[in-house]
Structure 1
């Protein structure tokens, strides 16, 4: 099962990670993959980061064969992920395999090895197959790009167990209309899950307003609980079943694969950074600003750039206080001054930084320290989110 972002049957100009996330989200969250594959396991490509982040663990081990891309680096991180996935019952395959000693320690945990017979001659693959079958009797070998009867016979006699190529079937294009979660809803959820204690009731109310997220959440949880006698039919049941960490992983995964599509990753990072910096600066002014209000102001300060819509139109769709709305739309009030200060600092307009610091009665050196702290916080937050899934 390969990702194509259109009917031209060519790989789109996207990163491997995004392609894998989109394929999984569109086919294993929102549509019946069993129907597409006639109840059999699909082979799905997984690049290095997706494996290290344990993305396959979000899905049932019956869903697919984990195909480790040839571009993966055979390092310790990858080995740890492979061992864990193997122990938990997932089927693992090495794609476009080229024998190398660096992969030897991975072989005890691999179920299928795929050879591209255009890149590795059948005779060369045969020598490797005979040697490995004496060590790993249950390991299977798959010949890719088998294009005629002669190649099929030669591959079978060489010891291959499985076969793939135009000789058997041409690729079939399956078109699905992706249910893309509202980026606005996703950002509201990010605000909720970034709290120390997740407010499940609030998360439930947000998810209930987005048909795409609602559908994906219920499908995802019921796929995970297929052995239960009764399906999970309410958001509350689903959220309680997932728990805080898996809920964070689910929302972060969906957001990564859809909400920031075609936008630079730095835009998302800057939103997080501004949220934290605004919250910290809000504690220095008099009177102090509630942390949640300041956090939201910073988080949504780039909403118009992210969603390509006027900020006035977007703000009306969020249940925000008048102080936040005035800050975001007109840069008025104390929150508005803090936003102007952050923008001036981003642009290295030091005269304006001094001016705004005087107006807010904030020490400039404190702003410098908090700015660096916010950059570190945003980086750590993203890393923790990645590690959680």
Structure 2
């Protein structure tokens, strides 16, 4: 049995910077492990994925991983480096003496231990000296109740994560209540609706992305757009000169474009796109727009239905413009020159592109039943989705490791 479904969800700090990811492993849309013991499944999934693609993609971020009871008793987490692993004790684990011994031992070895979906009770009191992080699901424990518990533990080194934070209001309330970290989809929704217009530099980026989505790239048009924007010009030359393929310094736009080629040009323009919005935005939101674009593109290429090259990439890239610009998507897409099929997919998830985008969003949120439904509709298998997701994560991590400013 191959366990294909893997997703990761970001954990942000008070400044909305990504500090880690919760890595979510499932065998399929049923969210269960029907043919294998959960402990064995966890171990296998960790060895298959945490030490390969996702470990590599974590970089200097923490990886939060759920461990079932027996895995903890068997000290399975100690098979992995302690540096960026956070061991999450699942909410259905009983606070037994043998679990306490395991927690003590792992904490002594330098592992960060977290209590997941925590509901305060006296049975867990003995564990607290060995716990680094407590996660409250604010749908189960209100922010007000959590705040009282946080206050009682204010003299300890325990840090707190608010889970299921869906709005900026909840983010602000949780931050005021004493939470240091936040998990949820508040970062991918517009903070407020304003009448801010598209700035010239961002408009140029939109035009560039439209150009690279075409079947035959028009290098003259791209050179013309880049040459009119000082920031883009500087970033292009910096990007090319930082590339390992360059033997001598590049000084002209035309020379730079020739060196880059189509694939690297797409990477460069994608990277500039995410860096051309407000500095106050969560860093993960920029990365997510790139990852989503790449994932949509990869999934689109697997369909029997022939899609125009680059359209799926555009759909993913532009699907978060409302959050990046704090404006309704309906307004934004009217101001940019993209195909109606892309507009319909972004606004109302219509057509094949809309199905790909809906599948992508469901995968990001680990909504496996939804994922399975779109799998069937698009005639895709789990393994294909997993491979596409892994590749999009790695592609984005590689892209963001290039310094362009």
TM-score (norm 2): 0.40
Instruction: Say which one has the larger Rg.
Output: 1
TM-score (norm 1): 0.42
**Which structure is richer in relative contact order (CA contacts within 8 A, separation 6 or more)?**
2
